[in-house]
A and B are shown apart, each in its own frame.
Chain A
Amino acid sequence: MSLQKKRFRYLGESLIEGNIKITAILAIIAVFLIFLFIMRESLPIFFSQEVMQEITFGKLFHGIEWQPVSDNPRFSMWPIILGSLKVTMIALVFAVPAAIGAALYSSEFAGPRLKEFIKPVVELLAGIPSVVLGFFALIIMASFLKSIFGWTYRLNAVNAGIALGFAVIPAIYSLAEDAINAVPRSFREAALGLGATPWQTATKVVLPAALPGVSAAVLFGMGRAVGETMVVLMAAGNAPLFSFNPLESTRTMTATIAAELGEVVFGGGHYHALFFIGLALFLVTFVINTVSWVLFDGLMNRLYGAKK
């Protein structure tokens, strides 16, 4: 290769490298700008006199009713915060055992061929659009569950929670499987060599060793569940009730934004209140995801040493 050609190739590579760098920085800037925008749109609740006649920070936490469009508008976030928590917990109760069980099975017990089958199929679940899952829960699953258990309310938190569970199983499974696979072979060999059965090895050695990573997977799933919109919007019935009963209809923070933002008076108190909910959601998922990654990194460091 002539020197000129070499130089040209070097130039090409650095161009591509620069491009990738710019794309990465743009992605970070985009996230940052979105955050700034949400901040800007929710701050009038604290500072704008005009908006504060309609809604203040105190009103968002006063009372237990969310009725933003009414002669006497009430903006309490408690029912929708409770709704988000309720549906998320139900989703996790349903999804965590299933996802971790599947991860443990496919990495510890399944033969290579079965493993090759399970992993893509579970991950295929992630490819189901959430509107399809929501529609399925709204039309089929809700009627089915009602006919079995005889619930008074067809669309309720349990119905939405189970549907949401399906949506987060792949996320939890994927990360948990990575964590379990990351446990070094020597752990298993030592346990088996000492006479432990495969079941004892899996539950008493491998799973505890991978526990930080598995917890990270659960938290990651939780972040997904809190932020998921379409499934709960369709399957939960969306009555903003302040109730701990999982068999009553419920409304989440995401569903409130999705349903009401399209029809809200631009720049009014209700509009800024919805952005404040968005800000709260952003912070909650940010914290959950950060904790999750810290845990996962911790596991990798523990198993493989601090160097990357």
Chain B
Amino acid sequence: MKKKALYLLFSVALVFSAGCGKNKQSITLAGSTAFQPFAEKLAEQYMTSNPGATITVQGGGSAVGIQSALSGAAQIGMADLVNLPPEAKDLSATVVARDGIAVVINPANKVNNLTTGQIRDIFNGKIKNWKEAGGADKTITVVSREAGSGTRTSFEEIITGIELVGEALIQESNGTIRETVANDAGAIGYLSHGLLNEKIKAVQIDGQDCTTECIMTQKYLLVRPIFLLTKAQPGAEVQRMIDYILSPEGQQTIQQNGLITAK
């Protein structure tokens, strides 16, 4: 009985160690939660066409992406910032996609267009009622992301001059931002444009719609690049993965799922 158990344990250990030995082709991507679902889809496709390759995708946020690329915890870091922070200067950065940030309001709200200045004033707390921004007499509920979020950093860097109003609600993901705005008639928030749906309404910014066309033609203001970060000399496997994402096939996947292609 005991011998049997020992034998079983031994063989399980053997199987696991065999699994570990084969990780020559294993690549880990970590970072931006905005790009995570796309990376997962791309990894799946890559693994189908390259059997034997193992790609693991982890989230954690842009800061985690930079950190794990630096430390080597991940071969590829993902970051969705307008400007990469100074600690990322030793990494090689490739733009693989771009993402529009949509400013969203409740569908019950009659406002259709906001200027950059109005958005700044709303998030600064200078405009507190929708009637000052061309809407009904209703208190504005500002909804923002947590400090350090890639989406928030990009949003604030592009709009400039935002010192977020203290009353602003903070939600820690695109999904909860969407739910909060969908359930509050006076709410305004911002999220990745690939996640727009009929429960919320994207406003025009300075007269430009938040659509793929306007982002491609660079008419729409709120766009951030998505970087893949690697050590200065990435290995052949890592380079092949990045090349795949930049290939027409990879870029098509990115576009079909709501992001904008790199070029």
Contacts and interface: CB of A to CB of B under 8 A. Distances in A.
A266 B146 contact: no
Given A65-B166, A67-B164, A143 B183 contact: yes
A240 B147 CA distance: 12
Contacts of A234: 176
Contacts of A248: 167
A138 B147 CA distance: 21
Nearest to A242: B166
Contact of A263 (B63, B139, B176, B179): B63
B142 to A, nearest CB: 9
Nearest to B60: A262
B63 A265 contact: yes
Interface string B163-184: 1101111111000100110011
A19 to B, nearest CB: 14
A238 B183 CA distance: 16
B100 interface: no
B85 interface: yes
A6 B222 CA distance: 78
A266 B61 CA distance: 12
Interface in B74-115: 85, 87
Contacts of B64: 262-263
A265 B169 contact: no
Contacts of B192: none
A251 interface: yes
Given A153-B141, A263-B147, A138 B170 contact: no
A263 B62 contact: yes
B183 A139 contact: yes
Given A69-B147, A263-B62, A263-B149, A139 B167 contact: no
Given A153-B141, A154-B141, A263-B147, A237 B169 contact: yes
B139 A152 contact: yes
A251 B144 CA distance: 14
B84 to A, nearest CB: 13
A240 B67 contact: no
B168 to A, nearest CB: 6
Q: Size band of the A side of the interface? A: 20 to 34
Name the prevailing secondary structure of the A interface residues.
loop
Contacts of B52: none
B250 interface: no
B148 interface: yes
Contact of B169 (A67, A69, A155, A264): A155
Contacts of A260: 146-148
B166 A240 contact: yes
A239 B165 CA distance: 9
Q: Size band of the B side of the interface? A: 20 to 34
B63 A138 contact: no
Given A239-B169, A249-B169, A260-B147, A155 B63 contact: no
A266 B88 CA distance: 13
Contacts of A240: 166, 170
A233 interface: yes
B150 interface: yes
Contacts of B172: 233, 238, 258-259
Interface in B183-214: 183-184
A184 B252 CA distance: 73
A282 to B, nearest CB: 22
Given A70-B163, A263-B148, A138 B169 contact: no
A246 interface: no
Given A139-B179, A263-B63, A263-B148, A154 B167 contact: no
A68 interface: yes
Contacts of B168: 239
A284 to B, nearest CB: 23
B63 A154 contact: no
Nearest to B161: A71
A238 B169 contact: yes
A238 B171 contact: yes
A265 B183 contact: no
A251 B172 CA distance: 12
A181 B101 CA distance: 58
Nearest to A153: B141
Given A70-B163, A265-B87, 20 more contacts: A69-B147, A70-B164, A139-B183, A152-B139, A154-B141, A154-B180, A155-B180, A233-B172, A237-B170, A238-B146, A238-B170, A238-B172, A248-B167, A259-B147, A259-B172, A260-B148, A263-B146, A263-B149, A264-B148, A265-B148
12 contacts: A67-B147, A69-B148, A139-B183, A152-B139, A155-B180, A238-B146, A251-B170, A259-B147, A262-B148, A263-B63, A263-B150, A265-B63
Interface of A: 65, 67-71, 138-139, 142-143, 152-155, 233-234, 237-241, 248-249, 251, 258-260, 262-266, 270
Interface of B: 60-64, 67, 85, 87, 139, 141, 146-150, 153, 163-164, 166-172, 176, 179-180, 183-184
- The list of the 4 closest CB pairs from A to B, nearest first, reads A263-B148, A238-B170, A69-B147, A259-B146
